[in-house]
Structure 1
Amino acid sequence: MQKGFIEQCEQEQLHLSGAIQPHGALVVSNLQGVVSHVSANVTNLLTLDVRIEHLLDQPLPDFLEEIHTSAPLLNKGERYVGQGNIGQQEFDVIISHNGEQLIFELYPVDAHAELMPMGGEAYPIPEDRQALEGQCQQLLDSLLALSGFDRVHYYRFMPEGDGEVTAEARQSDVNGSYLGLRFPASDIPQIARQLYLKNPWRSIPNASAEPVAIVGRDQTSHPNLTWVDLRSVSPVHQEYMANMGVGSAISLPITQAGELDALISCHCSEPKQLTVSQLQAMSALSEAFNLRLRDYKARRRLQVLDGLQRQFDQAKTVLMRHGELESAWPELSRWLMDTFSADGVILQVGSEYHQRGVVLSASAVSVVAEAARFETSSVWISDNLQRDCADMPLSEIAGVAVVSDLPLDQYHNVNLYLCRLEHLYEVTWGGNPDKPVDYRHGSSAIAPRRSFEAWVEQRVGHSKPWSSSTRIYLLKLRALLQQAKSFSWKADE
């Protein structure tokens, strides 16, 4: 992966672009209602009979002051949706608060549409994975019908940052599918992911449209557009969409525990603009699913913890029956390998090593311990030691889960190493992930990759992936070992 491309994407100040998309207009004021910036298209788009410079440093125009007065008091990051008119011109307005300014997004409409249904059909919390996947598919089908777009994807983020299309809905005349394809983390930089976390939707009605500048007295200072959907589109993202054959797009975030868990991506090959009412309805549908997903995951965590308690009671019984490490180790090590699907296990007590199965060499243990010592939670997990550990010696062990630095008593610390052998498997990418950019002949410009055809990678050097529950299991195991301080652990002096 080209390091320069990633750095360029992460350093791009998307929220300070100083421009908007042309399908709406923008007015920015301070918290006292004095205008500081406007978009260059504001007078034409809203048919205002006034020069742009005459709007600056003046109170909000009457048509905006009326909406502002009727809106609730906003805090930073909050937004309000309303409607207004200038003569015969009707428009939707979204007011947001960026911490220092009020920003008014204005969207002209032919006529105010009736409010669209927000909640849709009520669904219960899914009981199992099959029910969850069914509700996800129903959501995509509903969004496809509501938007009229060509296709809708459920793009789930993986722990390593890559994304995978796990569900898809598309119109009957649309060929090709992205279902099952994986995309590298660089396709959606972290700076863009943070903006998705803060907004209920991101709409790009025309991917090839030229941006409109935001005008102010001080052209060196741009307003913070973090919570503004009109924010202009990054040129890199515009080209990325063109390479995919996407003329317009809508993205809806799925968030869990303050993190971006997935994106719902709606694509159309032609420019297509939806009303604010339609976007609100789509957002309401996705948020309702988001809440059910949150409840489903909470229920699953409780089920996992309940199962954990039963499993760890078995291990606790073994420890209590034997009362000391050496005689308990044959049973305990078998339990560890079965519970964590490990090919080998090492338990280090002070300077002693108890092991079973296929395990790391002593030199490899030292390298892994050095990598794991920077993990604040005392649990460190890798499915690719050659990637994650500097100076890792050659080993048939490709993945390790570590519980480190557990004080057993005043004499001993415990380190546990669960080892997995290399596992060859295939990953189907949407294009070659190792070639995300093309350098143009005679130019230093960087462009996103152009091919999204299925590209199969045979993964070497990896173990079987650790499950999402592994960290919870290991933390529970750590607590069990801490309780074991009360047992009579025997170790050679």
Structure 2
Amino acid sequence: MDQPRGFIHQCEQEELHLSGAIQPHGALIITDSSGIVTHLSANCKTLLDDAADSVSLGQFLPAMLRDIASVLPALPPGGRYVGQCDSPQQEFDVVVTPNEGGWVYELYPVETHPDPMAMLNGVIPVPVSADELAEQCQSLIEALLTLSGFDRVLYYRFMPEGDGEVLAEARREGVTGSYQGLRFPASDIPYIARELYLKNPWRTIPDATAAPVPIFAAEANVTPDLSYVDLRSVSPVHLEYMANMGVSGAISLPIIQAGELDALISCHCAQPRQLTVSQLQAMRSLSEGFNLRLRDYKARRRLDVIDGLQHYFDHAKAVLMRHGELESAWGELSAWLMDTFAADGVMLQMGGEYYQKGVGLTPNVMQIVAQQAAQASSNVWISDCLRRDCSDMPLSEVAGVALISDLPLDQHHFVNLYLCRVEHLYEVVWGGNPDKPVDYREGSRTVSPRRSFESWIEQRVGYSRPWSASTRLYLLKLRTLLQQAKSMPWRNDGE
């Protein structure tokens, strides 16, 4: 479902990494490369006790952190230090990350160190099927539920269009309601927030009701970049979102595939709950183990698809060899295309000539689709909703298209191949109405997080059946085959 432009703009314009404040369960110190303190959180003197007198803007780090500072230059690029330090009255977990030529120190008071989290026994093999992958995912979140002591753990996978869907859920006994199978709109986790998940091993919000703590700077109006800081304060919009869900404490663990945020593991608790850094590291170790197995599973699936391409395309190649040209091969080739890609129709545009089998587009709509595809960086373009993806799209029986465009036929002509699918009516079950309510409080007109997450069913119209994840790879292979067809001596005319 399309989101209100104002809400998405509002979310994306919020500079989360420049909030100028932290959550109050820890203290923050930022230094330049020489160890001079450039920023301090306002709660430093309270949390650091006896070390407070030696923590001042424009001065060197307090003595209890200088041993840590001495090892930081040896960290690999982008690395982070995790350890402990002590003041006379308090023990701290310490996380240090690089920041604009200097260092950011996050200090978390630790009253007692809990027993190490029990780890899963044995080596877990890479799953060989989708069912086995789902079983491992469920086992993971059940283990994280037990280890964390939270009320609920969700595995939230991002979809190609940006929406998210809860694939797996584990709940503590007595916790009611389920998010399993529900979908959430892309604006619930805007792009700017997703970028921050890529930079951090976890994101914790121990107490969503706690007031943020400001950060003081040695130089006026110099706001520090908190992109790699877990203590970073929480967006008011997200705090309201959590309150509407009945969540006071939360932990998120990113699942990153090929440099992109593939999923989030979200831990929810109705009451505030804080874990130690060592506990978070143990949880991260479990999630990263699954992440690596997921990567290997996807790599195997991709190899299986590549191996299967030979089987599928041997037939198409034989058809082209037998006929020697696209025009005379069209009857057989079009039937193969419709079967292979589960299309309701297929169209071949060769210069000013058109060949069609099954349901097709009018020349006017073909031009609109080709113009939209031309804006992409690839000669393969896929849409399951032309009405959404193409401006000025007229009424058409065809709702979705997979297109191979600008295949050179000769010096002056190009080939476009359109695979067409008709509209397919189906239901999408959302976690609450995805349309955000308008908020008029304090005389402003903003869009707020929705207040209910009960199942909300959308009758989705204007969409075709979704194209498979391997469609793009198949189309690229097909494009190569067609490109070869125009140059190879395949004619069987006795010459």
TM-score scaled by structure 2? 0.95
The CA deviation at 1:445 is 4.9
**8 A contact 2:343–2:420 mirrored in 1:** yes
CA deviations 1:307-355 (Å, max 9, x no partner) are 1121011100110011122321111001100111100000111211111
Q: Does 1:435 align with 2:436?
A: yes
Q: For residue 253 of structure 1, what is the aligned residue in structure 2?
A: 254
The CA deviation at 1:218 is 2.1
**8 A contact 1:90–1:112 mirrored in 2:** no
CA distance in 2, matches of 1:233, 1:288: 28
Q: For residue 40 of structure 2, what is the aligned residue in structure 1?
A: 38
What is the identity, as a one-letter code, of the residue corresponding to 2:473? I
Over aligned residues, Cα RMSD in angstroms? 1.7
CA deviations 1:276-305 (Å, max 9, x no partner) are 011000011000100000000000000001
Q: For residue 272 of structure 1, what is the aligned residue in structure 2?
A: 273
**8 A contact 2:51–2:87 mirrored in 1:** no
CA distance in 2, matches of 1:233, 1:441: 21
Q: 2:20 aligns with which of 2, 18, 21?
A: 18
CA distance in 2, matches of 1:118, 1:39: 35
Q: For residue 370 of structure 1, what is the aligned residue in structure 2?
A: 371
What is the identity, as a one-letter code, of the residue corresponding to 1:422? E
The CA deviation at 1:3 is 1.9
CA distance in 1, matches of 2:479, 2:86: 63
Q: For residue 6 of structure 1, what is the aligned residue in structure 2?
A: 8
The CA deviation at 1:449 is 1.4
Q: For residue 304 of structure 2, what is the aligned residue in structure 1?
A: 303
Structure 1 SS opposite 2:49: coil
CA deviations 1:178-216 (Å, max 9, x no partner) are 001000000001000000001000000001110001112
CA distance in 2, matches of 1:464, 1:121: 41
What is the identity, as a one-letter code, of the residue corresponding to 1:401? A
Aligned residue pairs: how many? 489
The CA deviation at 1:103 is 0.4
Q: For residue 185 of structure 2, what is the aligned residue in structure 1?
A: 184
Instruction: Call closer, same or farther: CA 1:65–1:58 in 2, change over 3 Å.
Output: same
CA distance in 2, matches of 1:276, 1:10: 30
What is the identity, as a one-letter code, of the residue corresponding to 2:386? L
CA deviations 1:210-231 (Å, max 9, x no partner) are 0001112223111111111000
**8 A contact 2:96–2:104 mirrored in 1:** yes
What is the identity, as a one-letter code, of the residue corresponding to 2:258? A
The CA deviation at 1:71 is 4.5
Q: Does 1:330 align with 2:331?
A: yes
**8 A contact 2:431–2:456 mirrored in 1:** yes
The CA deviation at 1:120 is 5.3
Q: For residue 152 of structure 1, what is the aligned residue in structure 2?
A: 153
CA distance in 2, matches of 1:444, 1:422: 36
- Identity across the alignment (%): 66
Q: For residue 465 of structure 1, what is the aligned residue in structure 2?
A: 466
**8 A contact 1:201–1:251 mirrored in 2:** yes
What is the identity, as a one-letter code, of the residue corresponding to 2:297? Y
What is the identity, as a one-letter code, of the residue corresponding to 2:294? L
What is the identity, as a one-letter code, of the residue corresponding to 2:184? F
**8 A contact 2:51–2:62 mirrored in 1:** no
TM-score scaled by structure 1? 0.96
Deviates more, 1:389-398 or 1:160-169: 389-398
**8 A contact 1:236–1:447 mirrored in 2:** yes
CA distance in 1, matches of 2:146, 2:7: 37
Q: For residue 80 of structure 1, what is the aligned residue in structure 2?
A: 81
The CA deviation at 1:376 is 1.4
What is the identity, as a one-letter code, of the residue corresponding to 1:2? P
Output aligned runs, 1:120-131, within 5 Å: 121-131=122-132
Instruction: Call closer, same or farther: CA 1:254–1:120 in 2, change over 3 Å.
Output: farther
CA distance in 2, matches of 1:243, 1:315: 55
Structure 2 SS opposite 1:331: helix
CA distance in 2, matches of 1:359, 1:64: 70
CA deviations 1:74-117 (Å, max 9, x no partner) are 35532110101001311100010023220000001013445545
Q: For residue 281 of structure 1, what is the aligned residue in structure 2?
A: 282
What is the identity, as a one-letter code, of the residue corresponding to 2:334? S
CA distance in 1, matches of 2:451, 2:77: 39
**8 A contact 1:429–1:456 mirrored in 2:** yes
**8 A contact 1:6–1:186 mirrored in 2:** yes
The CA deviation at 1:439 is 3.4
CA distance in 1, matches of 2:488, 2:320: 8
Q: Does 1:476 align with 2:477?
A: yes
CA distance in 2, matches of 1:320, 1:107: 70
CA distance in 2, matches of 1:148, 1:116: 11
Structure 2: where are the runs of 5+ without partners? Answer: none
Structure 1: where are the runs of 5+ without partners? Answer: none
What is the identity, as a one-letter code, of the residue corresponding to 2:469? S
CA distance in 2, matches of 1:119, 1:194: 30
Structure 2 SS opposite 1:448: coil
What is the identity, as a one-letter code, of the residue corresponding to 1:429? W
Instruction: Call closer, same or farther: CA 1:334–1:108 in 2, change over 3 Å.
Output: same
Structure 1 SS opposite 2:177: coil
**8 A contact 1:91–1:112 mirrored in 2:** no
